[in-house]
């Protein structure tokens, strides 16, 4: 069985059944673990995947939706291949985080919370990354970059891009 999302992307549901089957032998199948693995597989949680999980695990879709919307780790919209998190904590704010964010907004042509049209990057602002000594700081995926300037930011993001930013 395959599911279709609103953007006409066909989603292979066999992965969902494989993920759920890993937890089938347990007395209490772990919905959160199933959702985490499904999100790892698809990059986000499409509605058709949630419906399949509901059907296979015999859990009401409203309960699954409640879990997905409660925990911020889950997303219902496609995200970029790379996640950029810019710290907006006090130290980063004082040391120029707004300039870093503005450079990223200008070059990626998205605002915080958005994903580039080519699904390369998702830009987020976070309250504090916990590395104030590196201020201003951002994370690309799991890697930290500190003592940023606007130019350094462009170079760093450009290394993750299929094309060099600012060259067009």
Q: What is the pLDDT of residues 124-148, one digit of tens each?
A: 999 999 999 999 999 999 999 999 9
Q: What is the pLDDT of residues 89-105, one digit of tens each?
A: 999 999 999 999 999 99
Nearest Cα neighbor of 87 from 116, 44, 123 is 123
Omega prior to 136 cis, within 30 of 0: yes
Report the relative pairing of strands 121-126 and 82-87 from DSSP bridges: parallel
Interatomic CA distance for residues 124 and 41, integer angstroms: 22
Strand partners, 10: 4
Nearest Cα neighbor of 128 from 136, 116, 118 is 136
Average pLDDT of span 22-40: 85
């Amino acid at each position: 069985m395959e599911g279709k999302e609103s953007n006409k992307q066909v989603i292979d549901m066999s992965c969902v059944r494989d993920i759920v089957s890993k937890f089938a032998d347990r007395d209490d199948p772990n919905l959160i673990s199933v959702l985490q693995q499904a999100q790892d597989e698809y990059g986000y949680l499409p509605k058709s995947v949630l419906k399949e999980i509901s059907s296979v695990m015999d859990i009401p879709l409203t309960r699954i939706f409640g879990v997905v919307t409660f925990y911020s780790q889950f997303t219902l919209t496609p995200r970029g291949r790379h996640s950029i998190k810019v710290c907006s904590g006090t130290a980063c704010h004082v040391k120029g985080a707004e300039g870093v964010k503005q450079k990223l907004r200008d070059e990626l042509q998205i605002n915080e919370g958005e994903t580039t049209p080519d699904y390369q990057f998702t830009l987020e602002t976070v309250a504090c990354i916990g590395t104030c000594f590196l201020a201003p700081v951002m994370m690309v995926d799991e890697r930290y970059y500190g003592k940023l300037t606007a130019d350094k930011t462009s170079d760093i993001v450009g290394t993750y891009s299929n094309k060099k930013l600012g060259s067009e």
